Chain A
Amino acid sequence: MKDKVLKIMLFCSAVVLLLLMAGILYALISQSIPAFKHFGFFQFISSTEWNQIEGQEQYGALSFITGTILTSLLALIISIPFSVSLSFLIGELFVGKKIAFWINSFLNILAGIPPIILGIWGYYSLRPLLISLNIGHHGYGIFSAAILLSLMIIPYSTSISTTFFALVPMKLKESAYSLGATRFEVIRNISIPYIKKCLIAAHVFALGKVMGETIAVTMIIGNINYIPSKITDTGNTLASVILNQFETISDLKFSALFAIALLLFIITAVINLMARYMIRRVVL
């Protein structure tokens, strides 16, 4: 009897999760319908207009989609050399030594830095540096946002890559060393091919993570509703536009923001499921 109650409770809690997801989807879809009806779905995602003047309101998402893709890809590209180097250092070159332990603990702490602290550091410390280097408009822009996002990725992807390096069988590495291979050759020809798919999956996860990042990006990207023409331009991402344009004065604009949220939801969900599918196929 008691067992049945417990099993029903477990099942019900799983259903609650399903209901939560249904609730989120319901809110996003029902709120975004007016915007899609007014502009048309393809018109909405291919238009770069963002006009809030009453009577001639015109909203489109293309500039924000571009902004999101640019910032997150750029952040990933910037972060890869650093995170890969760090994970070589911790996972291969210094593995088992004290210094690897300290760097690893330090990175674990860094992974917990809240985005808002990264944001204010970007605003007060990184921006003056970029101004003196003459990058971006007063230090704001896609590039600045990408640097902050890459700082978010580095601790995360380093710690994941390091755990993957531990998966490479010692036997393989040792036999390569005994044949006279150098460190570089072992890493290049044994370790990396062995964990390549895991590394890619980890970085896809990281991509999904930074695409939805809101607060740090809002503080540094410049919040301009135009399509950026080069990477040092100011812009806006899907997530940041929701936050800094959030107001309830105009119903159509409110609905347009939900349409943007729906797009962001779909993009991040697809990326997450893709990464999960990749990891599942590799590890299990």
Chain B
Amino acid sequence: MEVLGYLIPISLTLGAVGLAAFIYTVRSNQYDDPEGDSRRILSDEWDDRPKPD
């Protein structure tokens, strides 16, 4: 049962990492246009290099 001592903190940390990642995506406007983003992948513009900001 000592293994729980490792596994519980690990699972909690992974959960926290996931949450932090999600909050980052919300903050950086990644859910503003889900439909458009899923179509833009079909575009061949900026296939060779990223679009400059």
Chain B associates with chain A: no
